[in-house]
Amino acid sequence: MPKPHRILLIYPCSAGKPYYKSRSYRLLFKTLSSLGDLRKEIHLVTISEPFALIPEEFYGKKTKWHDWESSWYDCPGLFKWWCLKHGQIYKEEHLEKCIQILAYYISNFLKRVKLKECYSRIIAFVRTYSSGLRKRKDHTHRRIIELASKIANVQVYIHPPKEVVAEIVSKNGRLAWDMYGVAHPIAQEYLRSLLLNALSDGEER
């Protein structure tokens, strides 16, 4: 039997589809490939609205939803800017309900992988703070994972920390984090170190 993955890496969806063709995922794959053989010990999944979690092995598969991606895939009413752009009604109660629904499904997944002891560590690498170093309601990936982790009672290490976001903003300005997020080179270097540390059973930074 193949050796199970040691790390589950949860990464944000991208506007470009399929993911592996997007700029953010090309940078991610470059980071992962720099790990050499250790790359095989990382199971990459994408956190997505509205599909919850999408494993890497499904990135290239076609579904009946593909023709609709450009109009609704990324946002089932979660973001005010998106709703205004597309003439949809935005309500915070819809945002909260979507987060609860997606967190529920992800929590079920977390319970199953905990029961089967599939991974030694689960890491989420998502937008944790704004460029103003605040936690915001529209950081839906972070909020979904936090809630799912709480429901499932499964530890998920959520990164990057505030210090990494602050470093990006300090060196390159707020726009650098706003535009690139976790795909920023500083964030990617932090992710590489984080994964190497986790795979060597070291303590987290």
The CATH number for 115's domain is 3.40.50.10630
Q: Which of the four pLDDT bands, split at 50, 70 and 90, describes residue 198?
A: very high
**79 assigned to some structural domain:** no
**147 assigned to some structural domain:** yes
How many domains, in total, are found in the chain? Answer: 1
pLDDT attached to residue 205? 41
Q: Where are the alpha helices (DSSP H) in the chain?
A: 23-33, 80-86, 92-115, 140-152, 162-172, 174-180, 185-199
Instruction: Give the Cα separation of 167 and 172 in Å (integer).
Output: 8
Q: What percent of the chain clears pLDDT 90, i.e. is strictly above it?
A: 63
**152 assigned to some structural domain:** yes
pLDDT, greater one: 202 or 176 = 176
Instruction: Give the Cα separation of 38 and 130 in Å (integer).
Output: 31
**170 assigned to some structural domain:** yes
The amino acid at 205: R
The radius of gyration of the chain from alpha carbons, rounded to an integer in Å, stands at 17
Reported as a single tens digit per residue, the pLDDT across 91-145 is 888 888 889 999 999 999 999 999 888 999 999 999 999 999 999 877 889 999 9
Mean pLDDT for the chain?
Answer: 87
**98 assigned to some structural domain:** no
Helix (H, G, I), strand (E, B) or coil at 64: coil
Residue 76 has pLDDT above 70, yes or no: no
Closest Cα to residue 191, out of 122, 118, 123? Answer: 123
Containing structural domain, residue 155: 7-60+104-199
Helix (H, G, I), strand (E, B) or coil at 53: strand
What tokens were used for 196? 């190497």
Mean pLDDT within 143-165: 97
**76 assigned to some structural domain:** no
**123 assigned to some structural domain:** yes
Instruction: Give the Cα separation of 78 and 6 in Å (integer).
Output: 32
- Count of alpha carbons within 13 angstroms of residue 23, beta-carbon side: 8
**12 assigned to some structural domain:** yes
The count of other CB atoms within 10 Å of the CB of residue 23 is 12
Residue 50 has pLDDT above 80, yes or no: no
pLDDT attached to residue 63? 59
